[in-house]
Amino acid sequence: MFEVIKPGLETSVQELPGRIGFWEQGFPPSGPVDTWSFRLANLLVGNHADRAAVECQFIGPTLRLARDGWIAVTGADMAPTLDGEPMAMWRTISVRSGQVLALGGARTGARAYIAFSGGIDTPPVLGSRATFHMAGVGGVGGFALKADQQIPLGPAPAAVPLREVREGERPHIGNVREWTIECVPGPNDDWLDEAGIRMFLASDWTVQAKSNRTGIRLTGPQFTFSKRAHEKRPEHGQDPSNILDHGYPLGAVNLAGQTPIILINDAPSTGGFINPFTVPSAAFWKLGQARPNNILRFKAVTVREAQDLRRALDARCSAASLRLL
């Protein structure tokens, strides 16, 4: 196991594919936002890519390791140290019982991931160890890590090769301030007029500080709506962005009045706002690393192109992206 000395900011246990099959009861999939960095961290320590690991947001934790093994830190640069000495990211690190791993504030990106050989072994809740904070399920007691908690780990392999992620196979996080985010039109793009659609795809959208794992809130220009949004039955509501409650896809660009909110891992499954565009899963890693005041620019893609992006990302989250040290 490891012991939590300082918890950081909403540091949580996450797992893939998350909590599947319970959205109609109010439980979203949860899981890591940046699956690219998450899966590579697991591969570096000899785990299956989807094993439970730690997601850190903006400020990382300080942890005391209670057994020998291997760890890896990927994603945002939180300047990790091991016993006070700088520790390399994106590579397998051999550790001893009693050593202290510390992550600070994110210098680049927003979310870092810590994987442990053997994976985190908290009890699954509704089929997953992923933490869903709003309902208090999964992870460690259902919430972010707290000081003095002891987090169990699964059996570690006898040996793990020391490897690193090839430079060209890592997500480009760095000091990115402007992100291109792919989006698929629909399901409610016909509620915007042509000018509204052109405006969305041509504009800069600023990430608001009050974004979280439920949604990425954006600030930008005003939307314009189609005839359908103005001449609708009363059960759809008064505002042009209102619609009779219907299902929300994961990644939906949910238009609450004039505020677009990209619904991510802990988002609700239904509601009464339109969703003119949907961000595909292969672009979520960028949403997970975008910081407040970063700029998002949207690029329309087809469903087929979104599926190709997902297949390409899955291929990069494999042992082929690693090299021996």
Encode pLDDT of 204-257 as tens digits.
999 999 999 999 999 999 999 999 999 999 999 999 999 999 999 999 999 999
Sign of the torsion angle spanned by Cα atoms 130, 132, 135, 139:
positive
pLDDT tens for 54-79 read 999 999 999 999 999 999 999 999 99
Burial state string for 293-323 with b = 16 or more CB within 10 A and e = fewer than 16: ebbbebeebeeeebeebeeebeebbeeebbe
CA atoms within 13 A on the CB side of 101: 32
Q: Which residues contact 279 (CB under 8 A, 6 or more apart)?
A: 181, 182, 183, 184, 251, 252, 253, 262, 287
What are the φ/ψ torsions at residue 199 (nearest 5 degrees)?
Answer: -60, -45
pLDDT, mean over the chain = 97
Strands 108-116, 53-57: pairing kind: antiparallel
For 207, other C-beta atoms within 10 Å of its C-beta total 21
Residue 156 has pLDDT above 90, yes or no: no
For 51, other C-beta atoms within 10 Å of its C-beta total 24
User: Before 17, cis peptide (omega within 30)?
Assistant: yes
Helix (H, G, I), strand (E, B) or coil at 316: helix
Give CA separation, 14 vs 1, 2, 325, in Å: 16, 16, 28
Distance CA 243, CA 227 (A): 14
The single-letter DSSP state of residue 169 is G
Q: Enter the pTM of the model.
A: 0.96
Distance CA 236, CA 138 (A): 36
For the chain, list the domains and their CATH numbers: 2-166 (no CATH), 178-315 (2.40.100.10)
pLDDT tens for 165-208 read 999 999 999 999 999 999 999 999 999 999 999 999 999 999 99
Distance CA 139, CA 130 (A): 6
* Separate counts of helices (H) and strands (E) for the chain: 5, 21
β-strand partners of 172: none
> What is the average per-residue pLDDT within 303-312?
98
> What pLDDT, on the 0 to 100 scale, is given for residue 24?
87
